[in-house]
Structures are given as structure tokens and as C-alpha cells.
């Protein structure tokens, strides 16, 4: 039986009822990776031996008769900015090419505790800075629906691997759309949880007030199962919210009666792809048939979100990336005549063009004489954007928008125009600025067969409402059942 196309909850039934074993499942996934990797290059590292050993342990758990997690024995991939003890964590950057973390990120540890099989580390934009996974120092990732197109970014490797059935699910990180946008481009489900819902301990920092870890899965039920495993308070993360964690599968329901959906006019703009607009409006009509009520809401400061984000994110990135200086983490340019030259040449050789661009932007925004004009003002606008959402959620339980203004674009199409690349995240950035949860899921396909993403935003810590809305829509449609032909 071919198992690689199954969802987590389908695999759970196969494993618990002893219709297959984790070892057989893992073997099939590893074979699948070997077949599709030459076409998509989704992985930085595949941990064959470790994965098979974990599968053996999972089979022992499954055969013991004791209660097991839904993730026990299931192959899951990790974005390569999550620390994994003894397994290299590169952030797809030359400067971390041979970095071996001495500890596991909290989300990695929690997945191991469930008995999940960790299959490998996925490719990404360098230090999560990008919208297309073309900024990796180790080669770009392709979209399984069309290998001449980008998979989105920065978690493009994770989204591409899930769409290509090279793992059952994956973890990504989202600073300005880096889970949701690739999920939209690859036709899978991606959730950015509320800031503080999932521990960031062991996530290599890009912009610490914006970063959040979340799941990329084949359907909404799997997304809820992954959240059950990774969400919850962590004393090792000072920004972790000390709140009880729910069973996210409990509230999944096909009925949306009484749900109030907000439609923000600022997200339905001129220049948006007509096929995207049509698919999203059809999705809203489907939700109305399921019992939801729709109303217009206003998010008036949306037009300032991209500029605000690229000041705040680059300022934090410039600070966070100062630690990569040739003294630590292994990469160092030699020979140099003194310490300053070593710093400069190491950073020059170790960082790619996009990372350098963002460090310079951030350094400028924080520099003497410009701090008040840029960084402080951006923080003030951040407060206004957050207030917009607070007001909108007084009238709505969720807010529905497109995830991206277009479907996946061609490889190389925007690499020479950074501003156009940045605008790929125009509909996702505000969510990170406000710290709220949001999910992307497929809501249709273009005439050329490319997936279109629908974004569902929720109140802070209302992931259950977001997942319930997504589940009801998913069960009323068939988009999640389509597979790319690789």
C-alpha cells in the first residue's frame, strides 16, 4: 500500500490498527524523497538512519498497547532554522553551513516526546528572509505543482515537501507570512499561531517580536493535531504565554451557524489577480451557505503595514545577526591581518545579498539621528495596526482575505526587484505586526493549475475559531484532495 499520500489522521488509523508499521511508512517516505528531491530540492538534510531508528522506537510504543499520540510513528520535517541536537542547522546560510546545535528547540523536543519520526531539515530563504526560497545559499526549491515556479517563502522547503508527499507534515516559521504564503503557493494548510502560543526557544532568530513557529499540513485536522503537540507554555521562552493549551481537534465542526466573518475592503485591491479574487469570493459564499454571516470591516492602517514591517523586521534582524562574526558557529574567513578585518570578511563571505540588504536597512533605521524618524515611528504605527484589528474583532469572529495577491510566480521573475518581492507578503504582514493567529488553506486553482490560498485571521489566542472555520470550509469543498503530478 502506498502510504506517502495519507494525512496524519489517516496514518494514525493505519498504525494503531497494525495495518502497517512506522518503519514501513518511514521507508516509503525516504524512497519518495529520493524520487522527488531531484525535481524540487525541498530538503537541506535527510536523516535516514536516525529516522529509521525513531520508527523502530515508535513501533515498540504502538505494539505495547499503551495510549499513544496521533503523531507516534509519523514522519515530519523541520525547517532548517529549528535547532536539532547533533544535526546541522544551517538556516540555508553559508555562515552556518556546519553548525551543530548542542540542544533541541522546544518544538523539536515536544515532537520527539510524541514519538514522531523526524525525517529531515527543509530548505528556506537564508535566515528566513525572503518570499520565494530563492535566497537559499544552497540552491532554490521548486513548486511541486510547476517546477518552473517558486514554492513561496521563507518556509518553501517545508511547504513543497508536504505538497509533494515527502513528509506527512512539517514545521515552518512565520515572520511576515513565511508559513502562510508558501502554504498558499503549494496548496496546503499553514497556520501562524498567536505570538506566544508556541515556544520560540531554539528557533534561530530573525525578528524576535514577529517570529512564530507553526505547522504546515495536508489538511486542517492535521494542523490541529500538530498544534496539540507543539503549543503551550515554555519557561525557556520569555515571550511564551502562560495560558492553558486546548485540544484543537475538539472544536472542529462542519457548521458555521452564527459565525461572524469580517471582509476588509483594504485587502481586495486593484492589481490583484482576477482568478484569486474570484476564488476567495466563492469561498466566502460557501461559508455563507454553511451559516456564517458576513460584514465589511475596516483596517485603515493596512497601507502602512509593509513599510512598518520592513523597518521593524530589519532593525531586529540587524541586531540578531550581529552574533555571526567569525568568532562563533564555525565559519571564518582566513587569513586576515586583524580582528576587524576578520569580522568584515567573514560576514561579507558568509551572508547572501538579501541578508546583507536587510542588515543595512536595519542598521540605518537604528542609527543615531534616524531612530526616532524610522524605528520609533514604526512602533507607533504598529500600535495603530493592532488597534485596527481590535476594533474589527468587536464586529467579527474571524476575518477572511486572500493569502497572496497572485498564485506562484516563475523562478527568477522578481529576484531583480526587491520591492516587488516584498509586496508578495502584502496580505500576510499585518498579522505578524498585530501578533494574531492566521491560517492559509487552498480555495481554488488557476486555469493553469496553480493553487490559490484563502487566509483566515482570528483574535489573539483564538486558534480554535480559526481552525473551526477552516475545517467547515474544507469539508464543504474538495480543493485539499488535489495532488500535484510529480
Could you confirm whether 154 is annotated as catalytic?
yes
> Who's near 180: CB < 8 A, 6+ residues apart?
174, 190, 191, 192, 403, 428, 431, 438, 439, 440, 453, 455
Contact 213, 197 (CB under 8 A): no
For residue 173, give the H/E element and its range. Answer: strand 169-174
Find all residues with CB under 8 Å of 91, minimum gap 6, and list them.
80, 81, 124, 126, 127, 128, 204
Q: CA 95, CA 97: separation in Å to the nearest integer?
A: 6
Q: Which three cell numbers stand for residue 465?
A: 475559531
Measured from the Cβ of residue 320, the count of other Cβ atoms closer than 10 Å reads 18
Is residue 185 classed as helix, strand or coil in its secondary structure?
Answer: helix
* Number of C-beta neighbours around residue 64 at 10 A: 9
Contacts of 390 (CB under 8 A, 6+ apart): none
Catalytic one among 22, 69, 79, 131?
79
Query: Catalytic site residue 178?
Result: yes
For residue 414, indicate whether it is catalytic.
no
Q: Write out the three cell numbers for 42.
A: 525541498
Element (H, E) at 64: none
The active-site residue, picked from 93, 131, 136, 154, is 154
Given 178, 199, 424, 430, the catalytic residue:
178
- Alpha-carbon distance of 98 to 448, in angstroms, equals 40
CB 393 within 8 A of CB 272: no
Whether omega for the bond prior to residue 154 falls within 30 degrees of 0, making it cis, is: yes
Q: Residue 27: name the closest of 64, 55, 58 by CA.
A: 55
Give me the residues paired with residue 402 across strands: 454
Active site residues: 79, 154, 178
Amino acid at each position: 500500500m502506498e502510504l506517502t499520500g495519507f494525512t496524519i489522521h489517516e496514518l494514525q488509523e493505519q498504525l494503531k490498527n497494525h495495518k502497517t508499521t512506522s518503519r514501513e511508512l518511514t521507508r516509503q517516505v525516504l524512497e519518495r524523497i529520493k524520487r522527488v528531491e531531484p525535481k524540487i530540492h525541498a530538503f537541506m538534510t535527510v536523516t535516514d538512519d536516525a529516522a529509521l531508528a525513531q520508527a523502530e522506537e515508535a513501533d515498540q510504543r504502538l505494539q505495547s498497547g499503551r495510549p499513544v499520540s496521533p503523531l507516534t510513528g509519523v514522519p515530519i520535517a523541520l525547517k532548517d532554522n529549528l535547532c536539532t541536537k547533533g544535526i546541522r542547522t544551517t538556516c540555508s546560510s553559508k555562515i552556518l553551513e556546519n553548525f551543530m546545535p548542542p540542544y533541541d528547540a522546544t518544538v523539536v523536543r515536544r515532537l520527539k516526546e510524541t514519538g514522531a519520526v523526524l525525517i529531515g531539515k527543509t530548505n528556506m530563504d537564508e535566515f528566513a528572509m525572503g518570499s520565494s526560497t530563492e535566497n537559499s545559499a544552497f540552491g532554490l526549491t521548486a513548486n511541486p505543482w510547476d517546477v518552473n515556479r517558486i514554492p513561496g517563502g521563507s518556509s518553501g522547503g517545508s511547504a513543497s515537501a508536504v505538497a509533494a508527499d515527502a513528509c506527512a507534515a512539517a514545521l515552518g516559521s512565520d515572520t511576515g507570512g513565511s508559513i502562510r504564503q508558501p502554504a498558499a503557493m503549494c496548496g496546503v494548510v499553514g497556520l501562524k499561531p498567536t505570538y506566544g502560543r508556541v515556544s520560540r526557544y531554539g528557533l534561530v532568530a530573525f525578528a524576535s517580536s514577529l517570529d512564530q513557529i507553526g505547522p504546515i499540513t495536508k489538511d486542517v485536522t492535521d494542523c490541529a493535531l500538530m498544534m496539540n503537540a507543539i503549543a503551550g507554555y515554555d519557561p525557556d521562552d520569555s515571550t511564551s504565554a502562560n495560558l492553558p493549551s486546548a485540544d484543537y481537534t475538539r472544536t472542529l465542526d462542519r457548521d458555521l451557524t452564527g459565525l461572524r466573518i469580517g471582509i476588509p475592503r483594504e485587502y481586495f485591491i486593484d492589481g490583484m489577480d482576477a482568478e484569486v479574487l474570484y476564488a476567495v469570493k466563492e469561498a466566502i459564499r460557501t461559508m455563507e451557505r454553511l451559516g456564517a454571516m458576513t460584514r465589511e470591516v475596516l483596517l485603515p492602517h493596512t497601507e502602512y503595514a509593509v513599510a512598518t514591517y520592513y523597518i521593524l523586521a530589519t532593525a531586529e534582524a540587524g541586531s540578531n545577526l550581529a552574533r555571526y562574526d567569525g568568532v562563533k558557529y564555525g565559519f571564518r574567513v582566513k587569513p586576515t591581518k586583524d580582528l576587524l578585518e576578520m569580522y568584515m570578511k567573514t560576514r561579507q563571505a558568509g551572508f547572501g545579498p538579501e541578508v546583507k540588504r536587510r542588515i543595512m536597512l536595519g542598521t540605518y533605521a537604528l542609527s543615531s539621528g534616524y531612530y526616532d524618524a524610522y524605528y520609533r515611528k514604526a512602533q507607533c504605527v504598529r500600535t495603530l495596526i493592532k488597534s485596527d484589528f481590535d476594533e474589527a474583532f468587536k464586529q467579527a469572529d474571524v476575518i477572511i482575505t486572500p493569502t497572496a495577491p497572485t498564485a506562484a510566480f516563475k523562478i527568477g521573475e522578481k529576484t531583480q526587484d526587491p520591492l516587488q518581492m516584498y509586496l508578495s507578503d502584502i496580505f500576510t504582514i499585518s498579522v505578524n505586526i498585530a501578533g494574531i493567529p492566521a491560517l492559509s488553506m487552498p480555495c481554488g486553482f488557476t486555469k493553469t493549475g496553480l493553487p490559490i490560498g484563502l487566509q483566515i485571521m482570528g483574535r489573539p489566542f483564538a486558534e480554535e475559531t480559526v481552525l473551526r472555520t477552516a475545517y467547515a470550509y474544507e469539508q464543504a469543498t474538495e480543493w485539499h484532495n488535489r495532488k500535484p503530478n510529480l
